[in-house]
Structure 1
Amino acid sequence: MKRRSRVSVFCVRLLIALLLACAFCTAYAADDEAGKHANQEAEAKQKLDQVRGEIKKISDTLKATQAQRDDATKAVREQELKIAAAVKELRELDAKILAQGGELGKLESQRSALNEKLKAQRDALAALLRSAYALGQNEELKLLLAQDDIDKLARVLAYHHYFERARVEKIEGLLKDLQQLADVQTAIEKQTEALKISRAARADDATKLQQDRSEREKLLTELDATLKDEQSRLNALGKDEKGVLDLLEKLRDIFADIPKQLAGAEPFAELKGKLVWPVRGKIGAAFGANDDSGRGSHGIVIAATTGAEVHAVSHGRIAYADWLRGFGLLLIVDHGDGYLSLYGYNESLLKDVGDWVNANEVIATAGNSGGRKTPGVYFELRYQGKPMDPRGWLSAASR
């Protein structure tokens, strides 16, 4: 009986010991699991902090790069506006020189006519002098022979003196006019020479500005190379697109005075297939074609030489004439009834906002503004703010 009691006590003690051991192991395992979890959380937090730091670093770098790009874009814009002003001044100087040359031609014709008149007057004067000389050599003899008609002889001599004075006065007047003509011609020649000098100086300035613009475009190219994230490029292009859409929205009601159907002109809607080309050349980029960034074009790019004349496709009014990111020097013509035509990448703008233009009138010169590498003209048509394919509107005959 005692033995059975001892066994029972032993079993109870053993059971208690096992329970205590299990409890200890469970507590140890729980503590170990909690420690591992805490370490994992710490490691995750550290990695997250590292990732966030890298993201911030990249973001700051991207912002700085974009800020540099914006500064460079602004500098290019300023340079291109200066070039446009210089080119416009050169064209004005060319027109002045041409006008002065025409005036010189007229003056030279007048001088030739006056020289002919002067020669005739000199011949007449020489004949008069010969007559007077002959009369003077035989004066006594003639007076003796004309004693019976002294009054007639006196009248003849008086007439000779009168004609002589008249011719001398006329010749003096012609000489005076010729001198005045020579003075005017000299002044015009000096002015023309001054204009040529100014034109040469302006050409030098334009060349320097072109070099500056090339340097700025080189900087833009280098900075663009750092923007390897295609999404950043697309976002920038999206800003360009939004910029022009916002601009068109603002321009929609600015020139509401343009009649829907201009007097003596066909409605723009009926000019499909009849519009003159803005510039002669091959289409380098078609409507809807994707560019290097993957963005579809809303217009066409026509290849052209730098300085080629850009023409308005139809009658209208200048609604915008300035530099716009993505389009360079841009002209927008409002044709009324919701129709707009856009002309981008220009070297210079020859019209101002509010100017009326006729079909085929020169409004700009072609170039590569906006950071382009090759010259050309970006042409776009819009109706109620939506782009249309220009190829169906342009005349095949005027290409």
Structure 2
Amino acid sequence: MQRSILIFFLIICVFLFFVSFIKVINAADNRLVKLRKKIAVLDQSLSLDKTKRADIEKRIFLIENHIKQANVLIINNQNNINDKKLKLINLKEKQQQLKKSLFKQRQEINRYIKTIFLMGREPYLKLIFSQQDPKLFGRMQHYFQYIMKANLARLDQAEQTEQALNETKATLLVEKKQLERLIKQQEIDLKKLSNDKQLKDQLVTIISTSINEKSKRLVDLYKNEKRLLALIEQLDQESLKFVQSQVKSFSLMKKQLLCPFNYINYDQAIKNLAMLRKNKPVFIPIKQGSPVQAAYYGQVVFANQLKGYGQLVIIDHAEGYMSLYGYNQKLLVSKGQWISAGDLIALSGQGSEGIGMYFELRHNNQVVSLKDWCQKINLA
């Protein structure tokens, strides 16, 4: 009696230990799921920040080009203004020289006019006192008239030149003012571009700082993920050792294996049931999309498409035993996954023999008779 109580107590302890162990594994799995969600969100945010930074840097590049072009235009216009200022200075000097020349020419003309006037007023008196030939006096008078006409012509030409200089000066002044207004507007535009570039530079700095911080956080999260995966792997190994210590050896499961299907039609299955007595695979004609269950505890070593078998699942039960499940339309497990007896591993489909599933049991790569292993099949 005491022995039975002790065994029962040990079973309860083992069960409670297993339950607590499963809770620890589930908690670690939940932490891993949450951690991966954080990683995904942070990675997406990081990608958006990098995209924004690239876009802003592209705009900054364009702004810098505009600034360079604006600076070149301002320099060119400033050079044009300087040229026009120099031309205005030269014009002013020419005007001063021209004014002096005009003043001298006017003085000369006035002097000639006065001389001619005096010669014409008292010609005879001058002839008497000078005792000169009258013909000479006439020639002198004509000479003075010729000189006066020449001076008047030069004076007229000088006045025309002065007028042209004034017009050129006015044009240069207008152009100079236009260039000054243009430079002023360009300087305003340049200031706006510089301010825009400064703001974008600040924004790039902020985004870069954010990217660096998020990158560091992402690295930390990946490290946490790695540590958590190592912990889960360790827990899985310990759990596997514990489960393996509690699970019966496959060789002891004769007549106790679960069939990988629930119910089949008797008329359709009767022919295939005869295959259970032979060392051959079995095709079971079950409805398409029916659940396919694992016959026993083990590890999935293959879960993929295989020519001749369709979507195939192979489970390793240790000690050289394997179970194969073929002709599936959908697989619900993946390679490396540990499963228990009765776990849903696939949905049935159809193969070369029709709608149904392919099932076989192997030991040391040899097909064995299923009648010695499977429980009684449920027939509808």
TM-score normalised according to structure 1 size? 0.47
Query: More helix per residue: 1 or 2?
Result: 2
Larger radius of gyration: 2
